[in-house]
């Protein structure tokens, strides 16, 4: 017998396996972004493996901020799955950066609140701005330029790697901030660990890109401003803390 050569899903099964709703799949069918490649004789939708792959493409593009009807068009044109995976990841990186920035600000304001001084209007304006930035990053409607780029090749792998390490900064900063707030001693092992990670990140750049390495290294050397501007995070107190921890080790 020709056993199931290639799997097929009924709409409810696919919904259950993916977490989407049946209605959403109906909707995609209706708009033409994802038409199941087969139907049973009685009209039930049957999704094939390639339909599942296309569904991922739809989800990726949707998360990239494209309206569904535009997605239909993009998918009928042809883009390799590799390019899409990369674009998707890059977009996630941008979102992560925006969210970490907001998170750091949030931590700072909350920490300040706990140590007595209340948040000012400026703080709130800043927070609101960053919330909006996160929103915009998530929505990010594409202009034709960028849609064109999706077809072309983009993002040197180097860029991606650098972005990733760079994206790690806000997280680290937030943790150091937490340690400082908690009054952790610079000679403690916890402080040592943090200092190690900090230096680790700095070193990461040694092998990588020259330009960015330069700026980030200076960020450490010249202290404060750049880091504050670039990451919206806290600053000099942390660098002092790391310095103290580093010297305390010797």
Partner DNA sequence: CTTGACTCTGACGTAACGTCAGGCTTTATG
Partner DNA sequence: CATAAAGCCTGACGTTACGTCAGAGTCAAG
Q: How far is CA 22 from the centre of its chain?
A: 28
* x-marked contacts with DNA along 58-77 as a string, rule CB under 7 A: ----x----xxx--------
Alpha carbons within 13 angstroms on the beta-carbon side of residue 186 total 14
**Alpha-carbon separation of residue 87 from 65, 74, 154 (angstroms):** 12, 14, 8
Instruction: Judge whether 127 and 200 are in contact, CB under 8 Å.
Output: no
Instruction: Judge whether 8 and 47 are in contact, CB under 8 Å.
Output: yes
For position 131 contacting DNA by CB under 7 A, the verdict is no
Buried b (16+ CB within 10 A) or exposed e, 36-68: beeeeeeeebbbeeebbebbebbbbbeebbbeb
* x-marked contacts with DNA along 4-43 as a string, rule CB under 7 A: ------xxxx-x-----xxxx-xx-x----------xxxx
Determine phi and psi for 219, rounding to 5 degrees.
-55, -35
Report the nearest approach of its own copies to the CB of residue 42 (Å).
Answer: 25
For position 204 contacting its own copies by CB under 8 A, the verdict is yes
Nearer to DNA, 40 or 188 (CB): 40
For position 95 contacting its own copies by CB under 8 A, the verdict is yes
- State both tokens at 176: 């150091």
Binding partner of 119, given its own copies, DNA, none, CB within 5-8 angstroms per partner class: its own copies
Q: Give the separation between CA 168 and CA 162, rounded to whole angstroms.
A: 10
Q: Which of 31, 68, 70, 106 binds its own copies (CB under 8 A)?
A: 106
Determine phi and psi for 19, rounding to 5 degrees.
95, -5
Binding site for DNA (CB under 7 A): 10-13, 15, 21-24, 26-27, 29, 40-45, 62, 67-69
Binding site for its own copies (CB under 8 A): 7, 17-20, 49, 52-53, 55-56, 59-60, 63, 81-82, 85-86, 88-89, 92-93, 95-96, 99-100, 102-103, 106-107, 109-110, 113-114, 119, 121, 124-125, 127-129, 131-136, 138, 161, 164-165, 167-168, 171, 174-175, 178, 189-190, 193-194, 196-197, 200, 203-204, 206-207
């Amino acid at each position: 017998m020709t056993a199931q050569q290639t799997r097929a899903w009924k709409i409810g099964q696919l919904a259950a396996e993916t977490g989407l709703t049946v209605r959403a799949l109906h909707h995609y069918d209706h708009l033409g972004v994802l038409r199941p490649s087969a139907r049973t004789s009685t009209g039930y939708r049957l999704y094939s493996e390639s339909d599942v792959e296309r569904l991922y493409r739809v989800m990726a593009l949707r998360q990239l901020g494209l309206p569904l009807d535009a997605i239909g068009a993009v998918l009928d044109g042809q883009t390799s799955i590799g390019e899409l995976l990369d674009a998707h990841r890059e977009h996630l990186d941008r979102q992560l950066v925006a969210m970490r920035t907001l998170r750091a600000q949030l931590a700072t304001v909350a920490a300040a609140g706990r140590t007595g001084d209340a948040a000012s209007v400026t703080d709130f304006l800043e927070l609101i701005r960053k919330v909006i930035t996160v929103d915009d990053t998530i929505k990010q409607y594409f202009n034709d330029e960028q849609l064109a780029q999706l077809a072309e090749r983009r993002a040197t792998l180097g860029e991606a790697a650098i972005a990733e390490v760079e994206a790690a900064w806000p997280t680290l900063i937030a943790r150091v901030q937490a340690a400082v707030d908690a009054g952790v001693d610079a000679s403690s092992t916890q402080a040592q660990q943090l200092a190690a990670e900090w230096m680790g990140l700095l070193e990461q750049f040694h092998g990588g890109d020259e330009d960015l390495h330069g700026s980030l290294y200076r960020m450490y050397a010249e202290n404060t401003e750049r880091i504050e501007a670039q990451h919206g995070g806290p600053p000099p107190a942390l660098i002092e803390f790391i310095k103290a921890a580093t010297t305390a080790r010797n």
